Amino acid sequence: MDILLIILGILCLIAGLAGCILPMIPGPPVAYTGLLLLHLTDKAQFSTMQLLLWLAAVVLVQILDYFVPMLGSKYSGGSRWGTRGCLIGSIIGLFFMPWGIILGPFLGAFIGELMGGSNANRALKSGLGSLLGFLLGTVAKCVMCAYFCWKFAEALL
């Protein structure tokens, strides 16, 4: 039974890493599931505190993944129009995978700024801020999944 759980855990880690780039797979939660599967074996035991801290980190990264593009738009000089446009673009982009998830926040912030009366230069700056925020969120997910892979391998070896 342990071998089956380890194999399933490895598959979850691989899927979690893929989910950092493919928006239809929630990367960190799937990778965390891989660690939980390893925890159920006799090969490795993680403390309850570790599991809870990792779970909290996963929840935090998943929440931030949706808000960091809006913050990027805001802190790059965007107005409320750009921030709201980024949110709407992110939601609409979910329906046009995989490019929609990348272009949605950018186009939403850009169009939102234009609708709010900003010039094209400011709108572009807001859109690029949301794109940078998206890329930072992706990096955070990749780092977390890579950490989970490392902890998995460390526990087995």
Supply 111's token pair: 């169009």
- Residue 24: which residues within 8 A CB-CB, separation 6 or more? 97, 98
Contact between 129 and 103 (Cβ < 8 Å) = no
Separation CA 136–CA 32 (nearest Å): 20
Query: What does the longest C-alpha to C-alpha distance in the chain come to?
Result: 62
Separation CA 157–CA 144 (nearest Å): 20
Q: What is the total count of domains within the chain?
A: 1
Phi, psi of 114 (to 5 degrees): -65, -40
pLDDT on residue 61? 94
Range of the domain at 20: 2-156
pLDDT on residue 108? 86
Q: Exposed e or buried b for every residue in 99-124, given b needs 16+ CB within 10 A?
A: ebbbbbbbbbbbbbbbebebeeebbb
Global pTM reads: 0.80
* pLDDT tens for the chain, residues 1 to 157: 889 999 999 999 999 999 887 777 899 999 999 999 999 998 888 999 999 999 999 999 998 887 887 778 777 777 788 878 888 888 888 788 778 877 888 888 889 888 888 888 888 888 888 888 888 888 999 999 999 999 999 998 8
